[in-house]
Amino acid sequence: MAITTSLRAGALALALLTPLGASAQETDPESGLIIAEGWKTVKVNCTICHSAKLVTQNHGTRERWTYLIRWMQDTQGLWQFPPEQEATILDYLAEHYGPKTDARRTPLTPDMLPPNPYKQAAESG
């Protein structure tokens, strides 16, 4: 009984402390794209040539997405978009598939690394 009460209290505390923005964004079950303003334009234009996974697995700045669109136009036969349509696509991609924040720690400096057990074998090799 005490464990159940503790679990309920812990679950309630976790629910109350979780920020509202931390909830998962709604995605289109067919494409996996985040459902937000502009997503249908991206789906219609991008999935004609490739899977939406090519979009969802990539992240970049607006400049990076612009570069990729230009590359596809120059080398892959992608058509030119009307300016307003291209802006919608770029706005969506930059907002929902923008650069990922780096969650890894800063690399260790050489003096902080453990000894390399393979160094001697490689040097005598």
DSSP 83-103: HHHHHHHHHHHHHHS-PPPP-
Phi-psi region of 77 (alpha: psi -120 to 50; beta: other; left: phi over 0): left
pTM over 0.75? The answer is no
- For position 46, which CATH number holds? 1.10.760
Whether 42 maps to a domain, the answer reads: yes
pLDDT band at 13 (very low <50, low <70, confident <90, very high): low
Whether 52 maps to a domain, the answer reads: yes
Q: What is the pLDDT of residue 6?
A: 58
Whether 108 maps to a domain, the answer reads: no
Mean pLDDT over 53-79 rounds to 96
pLDDT band at 106 (very low <50, low <70, confident <90, very high): confident
Whether 11 maps to a domain, the answer reads: no
Which one-letter amino acid corresponds to residue 15? A
Whether 103 maps to a domain, the answer reads: no
Whether 3 maps to a domain, the answer reads: no
Mean pLDDT over 60-85 rounds to 97
Report helix angle 83-96 to 39-46, nearest 10.
Answer: 110
Range of the domain at 59: 24-97
Number of domains present in the structure of the chain: 1
